[in-house]
């Protein structure tokens, strides 16, 4: 049996645009593969994964499953190892874990002309924040200011910064702001901060790169005043391209056949 079934899992999941992105890619590649969505939470993830048969090729994982997927994977790529987060499982040879969020953020920042910014702020301290930190450092950040409701949750980000050789500070959302050139918001879509906090973060916050894309503009993007606000659709697209590479040939760094045409088809599906 040739594995041809794929899906995105998460909770919530109804908003996900991954099915149309992946369907467009596989049509362009001439692959008769099926890609669906399924609501799976942390409590049911293990049983759901264990119930998959040999018809399954792989999974995309979104919140809140990235850390669970990391623990389930038998091997990890470099980005998954650094972040402790897996958003892609390849099931055709054991359970192999990958993180395409890091590369997706880098690719999206590159498209927006946002590489080389040395002072960066990250909002949030979850699994996506870890990916954002690695991406920003690889994109040129030399210091990172993390803001979170509970700064103690950012201890792992501070430690990750030490591994990467970049100082990372952690403060509450409402702490005094320091001017940065780029703010990366990793908060769930629909998150709304109070007006004073949003204004404080916006002042001197540079360009807002918000990983959220539904609804758009996000609550933060709608009040951002210091620079332009960029939606997470570019990241969504670029991390999905890297997932398709993994599902096709097991390496997110290896371009797809006729990749420009595949990416164009995926963009048209958004």
Q: How many CB atoms lie within 10 A of CB 228?
A: 11
C-alpha triplet 159, 250, 238: angle, nearest 5°: 65
The candidate with the shortest Cα–Cα distance to 137, out of 69, 213, 83, is 83
Q: For 190-210, give one letter per residue: b (16+ CB within 10 A) or e.
A: eeebeeebbebbbebbbbbbb
Element (DSSP H or E) covering residue 36: strand 34-39
- Cα torsion for 44, 50, 51, 53, to the nearest 10°? 150
The catalytic residue positions are 66
Q: Crossing angle of helices 18-29/259-269, nearest 10°?
A: 140
Q: Is the dihedral of CA 189, 137, 25, 243 positive or negative?
A: negative
The DSSP bridge partners found for residue 98 are: 88
> In 50-140, which ranges are E strands?
56-61, 75-76, 88-90, 96-98, 119-123
d(CA 138, CA 265): 28
């Amino acid at each position: 049996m040739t594995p041809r079934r794929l899906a995105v899992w998460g909770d919530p999941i109804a908003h996900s645009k991954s099915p149309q992105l992946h369907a467009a890619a596989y049509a362009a590649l001439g692959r008769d593969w099926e890609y669906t969505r399924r609501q799976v939470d942390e409590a049911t993830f293990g049983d759901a994964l264990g119930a998959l048969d040999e018809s399954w090729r792989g999974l995309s994982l979104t919140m809140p499953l990235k850390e669970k997927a990391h623990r389930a994977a038998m091997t990890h790529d470099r980005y998954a190892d650094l972040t402790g987060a897996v958003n892609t499982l390849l099931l055709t040879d054991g359970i192999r874990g990958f993180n395409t969020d890091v590369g997706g953020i880098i690719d999206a920042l590159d498209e927006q002309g946002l590489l080389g910014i040395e002072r960066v702020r990250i909002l949030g301290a979850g699994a996506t924040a870890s990916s954002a930190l690695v991406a920003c450092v690889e994109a040129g950040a030399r210091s990172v200011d993390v803001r979170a409701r509970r700064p103690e949750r950012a201890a792992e980000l501070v430690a990750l910064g030490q591994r990467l050789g970049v100082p990372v500070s952690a403060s509450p959302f409402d702490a005094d702001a320091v001017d940065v050139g780029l703010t990366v918001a990793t908060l769930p879509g629909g998150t709304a901060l109070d007006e004073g906090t949003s204004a404080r973060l916006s002042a001197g916050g540079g360009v807002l790169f918000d990983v959220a894309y539904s609804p758009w503009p996000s609550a933060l993007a709608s009040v951002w005043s210091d620079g332009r606000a960029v939606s997470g659709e570019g990241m969504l697209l670029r991390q999905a391209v890297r997932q398709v590479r993994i599902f096709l040939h097991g390496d997110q760094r290896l371009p797809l056949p006729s990749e420009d045409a595949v990416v164009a088809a995926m963009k048209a599906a958004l």
